[in-house]
Structure formats: C-alpha cells, structure tokens
C-alpha cells in the first residue's frame, strides 16, 4: 500500500514537471526566445539545404531577405489616417498621417495639392528618406526642400517614417539585413493608392541613399510603382556592397540593433562569401531581378559622394541597359552625397521625369 502511494506521488511529480516544462517551453517559444521556423517556400528551402551550409534552413535569414520571398508577401496597407494638420506649403496642404504595416502604426508626412483635382486623381510619390538615426528622426524635419519640390508641382507626396523612427511603432532593423523597411514602403504604396485624391494607376517612388536601396527593391517586387527616381542610392548588388562599400564613420550608426549593423559578417558566416555561394547572394540582390522592374528609372549621383560610391549608380544604369529597361543617369561632377551644389538641376530633372511617366 505504501509503495503504491509512493508510486502515485512520483507519477504526479513527473507529470507535473513535464507539464511545467511544456508550458515553460511554450512561453519561451511564443515570446521569441526560441526561433520559430517560418513557412518558407519549398524551393528556397531545398536550394539552401543543397548549398551545404550548416543550420541555413533554421536561421530563416535568406528567406526573409530574398526577392522571391518578398514577392510572395501581402502588403495591404490601410487607410491613411490624418493625425495632425500642419501649416500648409506654398500651394499644398500638409499633414502628419499614419498607416498600418504588419500591424504596426507607422507615421509619415503627407502633402496634397490645393489645385483643382484631376478627374482621375492626382499622381502620387512615395518618398523614401535616407539614413537618419531612428531616435533622432522627426516626421517634419529633414528633406523639407526635397518634398516641397514635388509637392508644389502637383503631386501627392507621402514620406513614410519607417518602423522604429520617431513615433512609429516597431523596432528599427536597418535596411540591409532586413526587409522590414521595404515592407513598410510597399504597405505605404497600398495605403496611398486608397487615398481619395490619388490616382492609383499613377504611383511613383523617390529614394535617397538608403531610400534608393528601398526604392529599387520595391520596384522589382511591386507592379504598382510606375516610375522611380534615385539619388545617391545604395543600389549595388550585395556582393558589391560587401566589396566596395563601407561606412566611413568610426562608430556604427546609433539606434539600430548590433545584429542589424553586422549584416555582412552574419550573412557570410551563415551562407559563405559571394564567391563561395553566388546563388544565395544573387537571390537577395534587387539587381538580379531588373528584367522584372516595374518602370523606368532616373538615377542621380555626385562624383565626390563620400557616403555611397557613384559606381553603384553607373553599374545600375549598365544593368538596366543590358536588361532592355529604360533608365537615365546623371552624374554631377564634384558634388556630394546630397547633391548640394546641383540640387535645383537634379530636382528639375526629377520632376520632369515624373511628369513624363505619371502625368
């Protein structure tokens, strides 16, 4: 009888421990302490497994970074919600607006022309800003004259802040080791298409530096973007970014997780160098998919850009030509990353380009 009671107590104890372990494991899993394996496309799983890189399928990095994975995504956006009315511009209204991207509330600057609305609506430009430390970012600061250049020429302009910037929800992941900012841009496109004053068939995209990277990436994923303008863009392939581009700052950019800043080392450690595994690196490079780009490009770069090499833009123009796609390239002799000396000329050319393709 005593043995039976002892056995029952042991059994209860064992069952309790197992239940506790299962419950604890569930909590760790649901909170993200243990990585969840996403439901990735089978062909990419096989491709990586055959590459022989230990642990590649479990990491999930290549799937989330690949262009094919982006193409399989859904970017519904949401209605644009006016959060605050700002002082108007010369001939346009200004607002702080918000939209949804992967469940996150993301803010942005919205401008709407005050002129008579065309029957089919105004053309619109999604404006992708360059790198600004996320904690220092403010919706209404920086790029004021850039936005004004398009807004006063009859365009609805929406400049998404991206997640983790200013008041926007989410974590700032960086643009190159994560597709999160590109996802935010694609959801911004869908949101702007729903805005009552916008012609959903006339959407363009502008990007500077990091924003140029996002613009090119978005245009090989979405057919909704009919024309793109890129200033001083990080538009090299990933192998070019590894071999030819390093930030000159002695300290890493603030406000971004250290793992996102180490994307070069993290990816090469997991999947080999571009020489060892070219298929993987091509799969995450937008330049490998230019045959499918959604519209023409206008590319601008200063020859003395100390932040992003002008060779990136020159190479992109060559690849667009090779793919049989329309592109124009303007190099500004002796100018810097912001095209400070050539701003008026570059802006005039950019407006004329959008006018030809969106009006």
pLDDT for the residue 251: 42
d(CA 311, CA 332): 13
pLDDT for the residue 114: 97
What are the residue ranges in the chain where pLDDT is below 50? 1-11, 13-15, 17-61, 248-253, 256-260
Per residue in 226-241, is it b (16+ CB within 10 Å) or e — as a string? bbbbbbbbbbbbbbbb
d(CA 196, CA 82): 13
Q: 84-91 long-range contacts, Cβ below 8 Å, gap at least 24? A: 86/140, 88/114, 89/148, 89/151, 89/152, 90/148, 90/152, 91/115, 91/152
Fold of 67-358: Rossmann fold (3.40.50)
pTM value is 0.81
At 199, phi and psi to the nearest 5? -80, 110
Could you give the strand order of the β-sheet that contains 81-85, starting from the edge strand earlier in sequence?
81-85, 92-101, 104-113, 156-160, 122-128, 198-208, 225-231, 297-302, 327-332
Coil, helix or strand at residue 8: helix
pLDDT for the residue 247: 53
pLDDT for the residue 9: 47
């Amino acid at each position: 009888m005593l043995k039976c009671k002892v056995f029952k107590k042991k059994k209860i104890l064992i069952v309790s421990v197992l239940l506790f372990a299962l419950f604890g494991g569930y909590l760790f899993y649901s909170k993200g302490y243990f990585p969840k394996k996403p439901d990735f496309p089978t062909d990419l799983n096989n491709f990586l497994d055959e590459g022989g890189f230990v642990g590649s399928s479990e990491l999930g990095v290549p799937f989330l970074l690949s262009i094919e994975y982006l193409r399989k995504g859904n970017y519904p956006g949401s209605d644009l919600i006016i959060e605050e009315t700002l002082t108007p511009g010369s001939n346009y209204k200004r607002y702080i607006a918000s939209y949804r991207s992967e469940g996150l509330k993301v803010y942005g600057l919205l401008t709407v022309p005050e002129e008579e609305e065309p029957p089919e609506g105004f053309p619109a430009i999604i404006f992708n800003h360059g790198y600004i430390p996320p904690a220092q970012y403010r919706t209404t600061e920086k790029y004021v004259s850039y936005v004004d250049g398009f807004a006063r020429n009859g365009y609805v302009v929406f400049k998404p802040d991206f997640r983790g910037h200013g008041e926007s929800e989410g974590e700032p992941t960086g643009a190159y080791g994560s597709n999160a900012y590109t996802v935010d841009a694609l959801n911004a496109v869908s949101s702007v298409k729903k805005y009552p004053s916008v012609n959903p068939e006339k959407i363009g995209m502008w990007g500077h530096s990091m924003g140029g990277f996002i613009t090119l990436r978005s245009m090989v994923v979405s057919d909704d973007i009919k024309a793109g303008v890129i200033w001083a863009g990080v538009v090299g392939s990933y192998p070019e970014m590894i071999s030819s581009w390093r930030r000159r700052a002695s300290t890493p950019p603030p406000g971004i997780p250290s793992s996102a800043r180490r994307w070069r080392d993290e990816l090469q450690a997991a999947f080999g160098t571009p020489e060892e595994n070219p298929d993987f690196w091509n799969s995450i490079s937008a330049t490998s998919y230019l045959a499918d780009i959604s519209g023409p490009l206008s590319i601008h770069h200063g020859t003395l850009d100390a932040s992003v090499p002008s060779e990136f833009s020159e190479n992109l123009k060559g690849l667009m030509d090779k793919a049989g796609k329309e592109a124009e390239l303007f190099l500004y002799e002796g100018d810097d990353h912001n095209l400070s000396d050539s701003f008026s000329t570059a802006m005039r050319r950019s407006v004329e380009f959008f006018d030809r393709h969106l009006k």
